[in-house]
Structure formats: structure tokens, C-alpha cells
Amino acid sequence: MAAGSSGKMARMAANSADRPVLEELDHDECLRLIADGTVGRVAFDDGEGPTVVPVNYSLDGDAVVFRTSVSGRLNRSLLTAVTGGEVRMAFQVDRFDEASHEGWSVLLRGGAHPLSEEEITQVTAVEPWPGGERDAWFRLAPAEVSGRRVRRP
């Protein structure tokens, strides 16, 4: 072994022991992490390609409830795609600490449908941050829930 190689190997081993690790999260942990959140991202196809927009949301069981502007791109795209059924979309929430290089990300994928007036009265309130009316309500029922966490050992 060349002079200095053992020192370099020891430093590399020490550095890898300090590196964050990536772990998969189970269904329940994913829902626990997003239960207290207020802002997530909805990914959908607006007819011109994939689009991602932030929305305020609440968790209703396993489902995500969010609202948007009746005249907004998200509502128009969902209502155009939905004809008495559901439209497939994704919903994502994450939290990161850039200083420690730790954080988590949760992804839900499934069908979304507009809520009826009766359904709206039965869900947890979603308080929109942006100004203006947000009278179009949707529920995303996840067919798939996945998540990952980056943490220090």
C-alpha cells in the first residue's frame, strides 16, 4: 500500500459513516408526516404537458382534499378531464433542512374528483393562502402512497 493510502481510506470510511442515509417510509408514516401540513403540490396534465402547482390541503382519512379557483388552470384541466369520473394525478409534500441535509418527501398518486356541496360540508376546512375565491374543491383518493426520508445515522 502506498504511503498515505491508509489515512485516505480511514477518512473515506469516517465520511461515509457520517453521510445521510435514504430510507423508504411505510404508508402510515407517510400519512402521519403530511397530516399536519398545509401546502403540497399537485401534478397533472393540463393538455399542454405536465404541470405542478402548489395548493393548500387537508387530509381526510387517506385522501387529500384541496381547493382551487374556479377559473384557474387546475380546475379547468380537472373538469375537462373529468366526465363523471376521476382524473389521475399526483400530490407531493416535502420538508427539508438544508443545513443538516435531512428531510422527507411523500408522494400520493391516484384519482381526483370534484366534491359535491354535501361532501364539502363533511371535510376538514382547507384555508387557501392566496387571495380570491377558491370554490372548486377536489378529493384525491390515493391508489399509491410512497415516501422517503434522508436522515443522519
Q: What is the pLDDT of residue 129?
A: 58
In a domain, 13, yes or no: no
- Confidence band (pLDDT; 50, 70, 90) for 105? very high
Q: Which three cell numbers, joined as nine digits, stand for 64? A: 387529500
Per-state percent for the chain, helix, strand, coil, to nearest 5: 25, 45, 30
Separation CA 123–CA 93 (nearest Å): 20
For residue 44, the model assigns a pLDDT of 85
Q: The domain containing residue 106 runs over which residues?
A: 21-151
Burial of 47 (0-12, 13-18, 19+ CB in 10 A): exposed
First to last CA, the chain: 31
In a domain, 8, yes or no: no
- Whether 94 shows a pLDDT value over 90: the answer reads yes
Share of the chain above pLDDT 90, in %: 34
The answer as to whether 6 is a domain residue is: no
CATH code of residue 116: 2.30.110.10
* Inside any domain, residue 73: yes
pLDDT at 144: 97
Domain presence at residue 3: no
Alpha-carbon gap, residue 64 to 86, rounded angstroms: 14
Q: Is the pLDDT of residue 9 over 60?
A: no
16 inside domain: no
What is the helix (H) or strand (E) element at residue 11, kind and residue range?
helix 5-18
State the chain's mean pLDDT as an integer: 80
Please list the alpha-helical segments (H only) found in 48-139: 73-81, 117-121
Higher-confidence residue: 78 or 26?
A: 26
Please indicate, yes or no, if residue 67 is contained in any of the structural domains.
Answer: yes
Q: Report if residue 15 sits inside a domain.
A: no
Query: Higher pLDDT residue, 1 or 73?
Result: 73
Distance between CA atoms of 137 and 142, rounded to whole angstroms?
A: 16
Mean pLDDT calculated for residue range 6-16: 56
Provide the number of structural domains found in the chain: 1
Residue 57 has pLDDT above 60, yes or no: yes
